Amino acid sequence: MSELTINQRRPFSFKKLAILLFLVLYLVLTLALAHTSNYDQGLFLVGVVFAILALSLDLVAGTLGLYSLGHAGLFAISAYTTTILNVNYHWNLALILPFVICVNGVLGLIIGALSLRVSGLYFAITTYIFTLLVTVLIQNLAITGSYQGIPGPPFPNFPSSLSSMGTALVWACSFALLVTIAIIWSIRRSAAYPVLLSVRDAEPFAASAGVRTSRTRVLVFTLSASIAALAGWAFCFLGFLGPSDFSGTISINILVMVILGGMNTLVGPIIGAAFISLFPVVVAWNPLWQEVLFGAIFVFVIVVIPEGIVGVFNRAVRNIRAHFSKKPPGLVEPTATVATTAAPSIEKLDEVFTSEFALEARHIDFSYVPGVPVLVNVDLVVRRGSIHGLIGPNGSGKSTLVNLLSGQLSPNAGSIILNGHEVGHLPAAERPKYGLMRTFQSAAMVRSITTKDNVSIGLYSKYRWILSRSLIWPFLPSGHRDGYSIDAGARAALARVGMGPGWARAKVADIPHGVEQLTQLAAAYVGTPSVLILDEPLAGLSAGEVETIAGILRDLSSSGVTIIVVEHQTRFIFSVCDEITVIAAGELVKAGAASDVRADSRVREVYLGQ
């Protein structure tokens, strides 16, 4: 892998040129706008402020699925704080900016923590109440000018030597938007982006790859709130601040901008903000009919193009591309699932483990509902380097036991020792550090991104500071380096399970079930686990695919990985596993060498039906 991690410097890069062109164009546009009339500038600045807000909201709504209606409240707090500190207390505007960013960050931390307890609709309602609360405060406090509002502070102009630059406020707002765009762009290009989507769509998968999902949600919400502070700071220079500028309707408007433009895109929120800010100006009729038309447009978008303006554009591009290529999208080179070329060999495990057992779960008790035990005094002891089968009738508690081992659940009693460490009390995200990775029965991954990006999530615990570095990822040499190395690692893992480069580019939503199972295996294997748990890896696979997986497991096992496999296909289990544990109705029936287990009369009775 190491030779692939070297960042190849090319003398000319199309991407760099594009970024440079964008920057030049952006500056020229800003310069032009800084010389237009006050009216035009006012329109533009409102658009910019809402573009920042929409981008900050999309960061949590689109990427993490947290539909916050608290952004108008956060927006209000930073706008009023800036005004009051400047007008009443004469703080310097440049000093106020970091201050309001911190204030909003702390509020974001608190509101973000709510997302751990409530999600979906309840999160939206709770955050909406936050906005209402802020509005009520603004309306009733003397310092915020109650219903009348307060005038915003003036923004200092350029010194006369720089007067050719035009209005300074335009430059300030434009710069704030540029910073926001840069942050969002960085995150979307970083290794953290698939991770964020996995927190949204596939939480157990994310957690078992070592992602601390709760913390991630709170941190991203904090970031989003801080970006919203930027918008509030800029907004107060535009004139009067009144309660109606920050009402709950504004929160909904921001969400509408995101949806209209296209959720989970970079350009969508900006287009949405521009559209909605300009709409009342362009369609300057009777206010009633204006509202009706606006409502009609929004309903049309929701019903006909729920993916928003950018989504429609992307779909058109995809269709045009698909028109020129005969094959279905994603299924480039759908040759054989099994690549015959030699795959890179597994790296030797860093640590040398001395204990004979890789995993020892002893005297495990568990119940979902008190009084209804699901597992009673179950032992699962797995010899290092072996393939260990876990079998039992449906409903016997196998998946529950696996979830206890991987930390999705915690046992009521008993101990789980993983590579010599007691891990029974640790959350799922901590266990990859002790060498454990796992797969899930089905539909565990992020369907909207490629198999390669899904596999790269499995590398999360191998790289440090992925989340914090994502803010400036493309600008960091280490970001480039790790980006290449994660990419190469994910491709190598896919090759290792027999998936050619064509599959790496296919979205999980487009691939057949068997390939999805292989992708999951790659995503678990890529984290170089010492213990790998597979939960029904063969469900729905054909005989040929079963052989492929059996071969992979034997290879992994011979390179020192301990494998625990839950499966029903007895022919596979008895031919692949060294040792087998059988549970039925939550109790241990038999554990031992595969041949002993197969011959056991109770196993034949409760499981094999012979």
Partner 1 sequence: MTNENVLEIESLSAGYGRYNVVHDISLHIAKGGAIALLGPNGAGKSTVLRAIMGLIKHREGHIRVDGTDLIKMAPHSIAKGHAALVPEGRRLFAGQSVEDNLRLGGMRFRGDQKKVDELLATFFALFPVIERYRSRPSTSLSGGEQQMVAIGRMMMNDPKLMLLDEPSLGLAPLAIKDMTDALVKLRQQGRSILLVEQRVDIALAVCDRIYVLSDGKIIDERVTASLGNDGRELIDHYLG
Give Cα separations from 8 to 5, 470, 482, 501 (angstroms): 9, 21, 13, 20
Applying CB under 8 A, among 462, 513, 554, 598 the residue interacting with partner 1 is 513
The span from the CA of 610 to the CA of 603, in Å, is: 9
CB of 589 to partner 1, least distance (A): 13
CB of 392 to partner 1, least distance (A): 7
Site mask, partner 1, residues 555-574, x = CB under 8 A?
Answer: -------------x-x----
CB of 558 to partner 1, least distance (A): 23
- Which residue, 62, 68, 305, 205, is CA-closest to 523? 205
CB of 513 to partner 1, least distance (A): 5
Quote the tokens at residue 225: 């709130």
Q: What is the dihedral of CA 477, 480, 481, 482, to 10 degrees?
A: 120
Report yes or no: 273 and 173 within 8 Å, Cβ to Cβ: no
Applying CB under 8 A, among 328, 344, 420, 501 the residue interacting with partner 1 is 328
Site mask, partner 1, residues 26-45, x = CB under 8 A?
Answer: --------------------
**Rule CB under 8 A: which of 238-277 touch partner 1?**
none
Interaction of residue 545 with partner 1, rule CB under 8 A: yes
Nearer to partner 1 among residue 319 and residue 468 (C-beta): 319
Binding range to partner 1, per CB under 8 A, among 22-30, 151-159, 454-462, 539-547: 539-547
Interaction of residue 607 with partner 1, rule CB under 8 A: yes
Nearer to partner 1 among residue 179 and residue 336 (C-beta): 336
Interaction of residue 523 with partner 1, rule CB under 8 A: no
Site mask, partner 1, residues 150-179, x = CB under 8 A?
Answer: ------------------------------
CB of 399 to partner 1, least distance (A): 10
331 burial level (CB within 10 Å; 0-12, 13-18, 19+): middle
Quote the tokens at residue 524: 């678990």
Applying CB under 8 A, among 539, 554, 574, 588 the residue interacting with partner 1 is 539
- Helices marked H in 386-525: 398-406, 451-457, 466-469, 477-496, 501-504, 513-525
Interaction of residue 393 with partner 1, rule CB under 8 A: yes
Quote the tokens at residue 387: 């393939």
Decide: helix, strand or coil at residue 36: coil
Neighbours of 2 (CB within 10 A): 7
**Rule CB under 8 A: which of 426-455 touch partner 1?**
441-442
Nearer to partner 1 among residue 449 and residue 550 (C-beta): 550
CB of 499 to partner 1, least distance (A): 13
Nearer to partner 1 among residue 276 and residue 584 (C-beta): 584
Binding range to partner 1, per CB under 8 A, among 19-27, 205-213, 511-519, 523-531: 511-519
Nearer to partner 1 among residue 386 and residue 441 (C-beta): 441
One-letter amino acid for residue 496 of the chain: R
Report yes or no: 458 and 524 within 8 Å, Cβ to Cβ: yes
Applying CB under 8 A, among 163, 164, 542, 575 the residue interacting with partner 1 is 542
Applying CB under 8 A, among 405, 515, 533, 565 the residue interacting with partner 1 is 515
Q: Largest Cα–Cα distance in the chain?
A: 96
CB of 516 to partner 1, least distance (A): 9
Report yes or no: 437 and 561 within 8 Å, Cβ to Cβ: no
Applying CB under 8 A, among 32, 292, 544, 599 the residue interacting with partner 1 is 544
Interaction of residue 547 with partner 1, rule CB under 8 A: yes
CB of 65 to partner 1, least distance (A): 22
The span from the CA of 196 to the CA of 502, in Å, is: 25
Interaction of residue 541 with partner 1, rule CB under 8 A: yes
Neighbours of 92 (CB within 10 A): 9
Interaction of residue 395 with partner 1, rule CB under 8 A: yes
Give Cα separations from 250 to 245, 254, 357 (angstroms): 7, 6, 59
Applying CB under 8 A, among 229, 260, 526, 606 the residue interacting with partner 1 is 606
Strand 436-438 to strand 587-593: parallel, antiparallel, or no bridges (unpaired)?
A: unpaired
Nearer to partner 1 among residue 1 and residue 322 (C-beta): 322
Interaction of residue 599 with partner 1, rule CB under 8 A: no
Tokens 């696996």 belong to residue: 402
Q: φ and ψ at 578, to 5 degrees?
A: -85, -45
The span from the CA of 506 to the CA of 516, in Å, is: 11
Applying CB under 8 A, among 154, 344, 501, 540 the residue interacting with partner 1 is 540
Interaction of residue 120 with partner 1, rule CB under 8 A: no
Nearer to partner 1 among residue 591 and residue 606 (C-beta): 606
CB of 326 to partner 1, least distance (A): 9
Report yes or no: 350 and 343 within 8 Å, Cβ to Cβ: no
**Cβ contacts of 313 within 8 Å, gap of 6 or more:** none
Long-range contacts of 166-171 (CB under 8 A, 24+ apart): 166/31, 166/33, 166/34, 166/35, 167/34, 167/35, 167/41, 168/34, 169/41, 169/45, 169/237, 170/30, 170/33, 170/34, 170/41, 170/44, 170/45, 171/30, 171/34
CB of 44 to partner 1, least distance (A): 40
Binding residue count for partner 1, defined by CB under 8 A: 31
CB of 323 to partner 1, least distance (A): 9
Q: In what order do the strands lie in the sheet with 372-383?
A: 372-383, 357-369, 413-418, 421-422
Interaction of residue 543 with partner 1, rule CB under 8 A: yes
Binding range to partner 1, per CB under 8 A, among 41-49, 91-99, 392-400, 405-413: 392-400
Instruction: Please state the separation of Cα 359 from the chain's center in Å.
Output: 30
Instruction: Please state the separation of Cα 176 from the chain's center in Å.
Output: 25
- Which residue, 102, 49, 95, is CA-closest to 223? 102
Nearer to partner 1 among residue 239 and residue 502 (C-beta): 502
CB of 336 to partner 1, least distance (A): 10
Interaction of residue 394 with partner 1, rule CB under 8 A: yes
Interaction of residue 119 with partner 1, rule CB under 8 A: no
Interaction of residue 609 with partner 1, rule CB under 8 A: yes
Applying CB under 8 A, among 536, 557, 590, 600 the residue interacting with partner 1 is 536
**Cβ contacts of 603 within 8 Å, gap of 6 or more:** 582, 589, 590, 597
* Interface ranges with partner 1 (CB under 8 A): 322, 328, 334, 391-396, 441-442, 511-515, 536, 539-545, 547, 568, 570, 606-609
